[in-house]
């Protein structure tokens, strides 16, 4: 190679094709499984029970409900009526006119007897258990 001139060396260098670099290696990570956080339990929907006041009577006259249930009394009579505990403590509505309602949520177990103040023969009972 000593007999070669500088120009011959340059020609040789130009004729050599460089080796391309290897392509980059792609590493695919293994699939990961993610567990979603547990959803909190949905509280039960509020329960509402309706009582109609019609023909001078509570319909139904006796209810069996669970604690947390709301009872709605609606007066469908032309006369005014109340929903009043016989003991006067738990329930005490105003005089309800036609189409008016009174509601109460029963949170404690027990038996609750009620009547209509102007018509004391009208009686009803709510049993919470």
Per cent of the chain over pLDDT 70 is: 83
pLDDT band, residue 8 (cuts 50/70/90): low
pLDDT digits (tens, 9 = 90+) for 36-87: 788 887 777 789 999 999 999 999 999 999 999 999 999 999 999 999 999 8
- Is it true that domain 48-128 has CATH number 3.90.1150.10? no
Sign of the Cα pseudo-torsion (58, 117, 114, 108, in order): positive
In this structure, are residues 116 and 94 in contact, taking their beta carbons and an 8 Å threshold? Answer: no
Q: Is residue 104 annotated as involved in ligand binding?
A: no
Q: Alpha-carbon distance 113 to 124, whole Å?
A: 6
Q: Where are the domains of the chain?
A: 48-128
Q: Alpha-carbon distance 5 to 42, whole Å?
A: 90
Q: Alpha-carbon distance 63 to 125, whole Å?
A: 6
SS (H, E, C) 49-91: EEEEEECCEEECCEEEECCCEEEEEEECCCCCECCEECCCCCC
Token output for 22: 């290897």
The whole-number average pLDDT for the span 16-42 is 74
Angle at 104 between CA 85 and CA 60, to 5 degrees: 70
Cα–Cα distances in angstroms (integers) from residue 89 to residues 30, 39, 82, 83, 97, in the given order: 68, 41, 14, 11, 22
The pTM of this model reads 0.66
In this structure, are residues 116 and 82 in contact, taking their beta carbons and an 8 Å threshold? Answer: yes
């Amino acid at each position: 190679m000593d007999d070669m001139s500088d120009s011959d060396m340059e020609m040789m260098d130009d004729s050599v094709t460089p080796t391309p670099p290897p392509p980059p290696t792609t590493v695919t990570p293994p699939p990961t499984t993610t567990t979603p956080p547990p959803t909190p339990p949905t509280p039960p929907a509020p329960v509402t029970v309706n009582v109609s006041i019609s023909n001078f009577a509570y319909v139904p006259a006796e209810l069996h409900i669970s604690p947390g249930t709301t009872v709605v009394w609606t007066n469908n009579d032309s006369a005014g009526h109340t929903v009043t505990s016989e003991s006067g403590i738990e329930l005490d509505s105003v005089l309800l006119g036609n189409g008016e309602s009174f509601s109460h949520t029963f949170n404690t177990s027990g038996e609750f007897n009620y009547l209509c103040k102007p018509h004391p023969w009208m009686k009803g009972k709510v049993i919470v258990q």
